[in-house]
Amino acid sequence: MDKETLKRMILEQKEIFEQEKRIVDRAFPEKLLTTPKIIIITGIRRCGKSTLLRQIARSYTTYGYFNFEDERLLDFTYKDFNVLLEAFLELHADLKVLFFDEIQNIGGWEKFARRLFSEGYKLFITGSNAQLLSSEIATALTGRNLKLELFPFSFVEYLHYHHFLIKAIYTTKEIAEISRLLQDYICEGGFPEMVKSKDSEELTEIYQDIIIKDLLVRFAIRDSKDFRELALYLLSNISQKISFNNIKNLLHFSTTSKVKNYMDFLSEAYLLFAVFKYEYSIKKQIKNDRKIYAIDSGLINAIAFSFGKEQGKLLENIVFLELKRRKLEIYYYYGKKECDFVIKKGVNIIQAIQVAVHLEQPETRERELQGLQEAMEKFRLAEGVIITMNEENSIVLNQKKIFIIPLWKFLIRTEKLTS
């Protein structure tokens, strides 16, 4: 590409990048600024990665920024990377910090990043695809990178956006306000654009961009009808156990491998996550049904089903996402009864969690308690947790303590749930 064109793009993009916008500061490890390693920020499209770059950029007086999703880069190839670097240096001779948005659009980017790293540049790189750390790239950048996965707003970040102060003790009025905001959060989700606009069309647009740009085009998927049907089916069945074979038969796919490949693509775009049944044998884990969760409750509501009819599934999805944000190793348990989540640390299961909208109905209470108790017995846990919409209590059954926690309290607490 022409160097003068790239210079003009660098200046124009940075001007837009530095425009004053109200942003919610996202939490990130301090070592991202202090380590010389390449920082790779991944996450679903439009979850706030560029905004996080803007937040990080405050720490530097001089830096370069470039967004590879610019339509003027249709002819840009790996051969143009050095021309881009020359353009940066001609504009800023002392440049040592570079921010690259959606760089995975250009094949061979990791070799360019490795060269810049070896020349002493500090790099921050974003991308909307988990393949940013695929085996090939991990090999090219071994020991040279740190990864940060970004999600849509957590409930705490959602509260910050609405100027609600997080503290240790709340008044009755404040708890009522938290409950109101939680209902909105369950319905809207945490995509920043949706939080700002309250327009569900934003979520529909995000979904279509993910399906078309990040998946159908990138992976050259020919049978778009099958792919779209599978994506919609999975979004409509979050928290449910699924198997490749059952989906193949239900949606009339030709092979189970096609189902598996498509599900892998959806996971790589951070749209969906699979949770395995806990087994001591890895082979058994892989063979068993898995439960599917989605990246955002608002996206589920906009694309798949109504908030009012599926509140229990949405609550379970929100709990899963929070556990995922906390970087916990998550499984589900299924024996005679089922427990929604069991958390593994090292070689041991350390916690069992059930999720229910409420425990008012005797049959619901019995089902949730039995599933939790069975998991606690199986893994020799003295304590367990049930997360509900509003209830709070603690009970002792068979010398085991069970804490019933409101969802809002779970979402804003970072300490041990049973403390």
Q: What is the pLDDT of residues 366-382, one digit of tens each?
A: 999 999 999 999 999 99
Cβ atoms of residues 151 and 43 within 8 Å:
yes
Measured distance CA(246)–CA(126) in Å, rounded: 36
Please compute the mean of the pLDDT values over residues 282-301 and round it to a whole number: 92
Cα dihedral 201, 207, 211, 212, rounded to 10, equals 40
Q: Tell me the pLDDT band of 419, cut-offs 50, 70 and 90.
A: very low
The model's confidence at residue 214, banded by pLDDT at 50, 70 and 90, is: confident
Please give the average per-residue pLDDT across 186-204, as a whole number. Answer: 94
SS (H, E, C) 274-304: EEEECCCCHHHHHHCCEEEEECCHHHHHHHC
For 7-23, how does the pLDDT look when each residue is reduced to its tens digit (9 = 90+)? 999 999 999 999 877 77
pTM of the prediction?
A: 0.93
**pLDDT tens-digit series, residues 307-352:** 556 889 999 999 999 999 999 999 999 999 999 999 999 999 999 9
* DSSP secondary structure of 137-191: HHHHTTTTEEEEEE-SPPHHHHHHHTTPPP-S---HHHHHHHHHHHHHHHHH-S-
Task: Please tell me the predicted confidence (pLDDT) of residue 307.
Answer: 56
Closest-CA residue to 129 (of 24, 253, 319, 264): 264
Residue 19's alpha-carbon distances to 92, 207, 257, 336, 406, in angstroms, are 20, 26, 47, 57, 40
Calculate helix-pair angle for 109-118, 81-91, nearest 10 degrees: 40
Average pLDDT rounded to a whole number, residues 266-282: 93
H helix intervals, 236-351: 244-251, 256-268, 282-287, 297-303, 311-325
Model confidence pLDDT, tens digit, residues 70-119: 999 999 999 999 999 999 999 999 999 999 998 888 888 999 999 999 99
Residue 306's pLDDT band (cuts 50, 70, 90): low
Spatial neighbors of 261 by CB under 8 A, at least 6 apart, are: none
Spell out the domains of the chain, with CATH numbers in brackets.
3-150 (3.40.50.300), 153-312 (1.10.10), 326-419 (no CATH)
